[in-house]
Amino acid sequence: MSSCIAVLTDFFAVSNRALSYAAGLPVPLKAHLLLLNAQHDPLLAPEEFGDYQTWTGRQKTFYELEKLASAQSVPTEVDMADEPLSEAVREVLRERDLRLVVLGQPGFENAPPDLVARTALGLLRRVACPLLVVPAAGWDQFPPRRLLLAVDGEPFELGPQHGAVYRLLRDFGGTLEAVHVTDDEHARPTAGALLETITQNDFVADTRDAPLHLHERYHPRVVDGILAEAAQLAADMLVVVARHRSFMGSLFQESTTARLIQESSIPVLVLPADA
């Protein structure tokens, strides 16, 4: 089974930030790029482009995608799906070793400001695969060398696909730090419990060689606290753990995850948890 990084391309496949960022990831992740376009999704095929649904429109889009693929410096293939986006990604997951899905800002004007966040959360609810969201600014800080892991204090278990973090740290010589933000509604866990959960998931090879630093701060709004810590540490990638049950009541409920995706000025890597 071939390994790939799926880049969700926008309509007419204009060269976008997400693809530029993703092109630097195949070597450490040992994968090739897949330009994925789903015709029944508002992010990748907005309704105002009516001729997209025609045979001529689809041929034109495929041609543009092929041109874009051939211009990449790493092996790149093209897939145009007839299914909605979540089904298209699930099909890729069935057929390939999908290491990562990369999503960026849409390439058309007047897009709703929360479109990317809604698209990302829709995927996370239906497909258990790491998702990297590339913002409009801050994406050019590459390679990512200062990763900040935001934790909510609850234990979690990541699937095997979380190895993306380990490989990025190893190949780019990066560092990983963690942040926990306490607000008015949630009890503050001990630092030891937080660090134990992180180390049990093997984000780094050996914490004795590279100690994992935990930053704790109070903020009445968790998202603002996380983003403030990322800015203070000059982080160039934010890592967040998402679990289905967490959307029901923990610090990283659905609205918190959506705001991090929407408001972060640096790329956000969302890792799905098995538990």
Question: How many residues make up the chain in this entry?
Answer: 275
Q: Convert the pLDDT of each residue in 91-107 to its tens digit.
A: 998 888 888 999 886 65
Q: Convert the pLDDT of each residue in 160-170 to its tens digit.
A: 666 677 777 77
Strand 131-134 and strand 268-272: the pairing is: antiparallel
* pLDDT for residue 42 is more than 80: no
- 134, 158, 180: which is the final residue of a domain? 134
- 110, 134, 158: which is the final residue of a domain? 134
Residue 158 lies in a domain: yes
Number of domains in the chain: 2
Residue 110 lies in a domain: yes
Same domain, 34 and 103: yes
Strand order across the 131-134 sheet? 76-81, 32-38, 3-8, 97-104, 131-134, 268-272, 237-242, 146-151, 175-182, 213-218
Q: How confident is the model at residue 251 (pLDDT cuts 50, 70, 90)?
A: very low
Distance CA(8)–CA(129), nearest Å, equals 14
Two structure tokens written together for 248: 């029901």
- Contact in structure between 2 and 26 (CB atoms under 8 Å): no
Note down the domain range covering 51. Answer: 3-134
Task: Write out the H or E segment, with its range, that includes residue 169.
Answer: helix 163-172
- Cα-based distances in Å from 248 to 115, 153, 155, 180, 255: 22, 15, 15, 19, 10
* pLDDT for residue 120 is more than 90: no
pLDDT of residue 236: 92
Distance CA(86)–CA(124), nearest Å, equals 9
pLDDT of residue 245: 53
By CB atoms closer than 10 A (0-12, 13-18, 19+), residue 159 is middle
- Residue 267: strand pairing partners: none
pLDDT of residue 217: 83
* pLDDT for residue 248 is more than 50: no
Kindly report the CATH number assigned to the domain that includes residue 157: 3.40.50.620
- 113, 134, 155: which is the final residue of a domain? 134
Task: Write out the H or E segment, with its range, that includes residue 229.
Answer: helix 222-232
- Cα-based distances in Å from 50 to 103, 210, 215: 23, 54, 50
Residue 214 lies in a domain: yes
Same domain, 66 and 151: no
Strand 175-182 and strand 146-151: the pairing is: parallel
Residue 139 lies in a domain: no
- Cβ neighbours of residue 104 closer than 8 Å, sequence gap 6 or more: 8, 10, 16, 17, 18, 19, 21, 116, 133, 134, 135, 139
Q: Convert the pLDDT of each residue in 229-243 to its tens digit.
A: 999 999 999 998 887
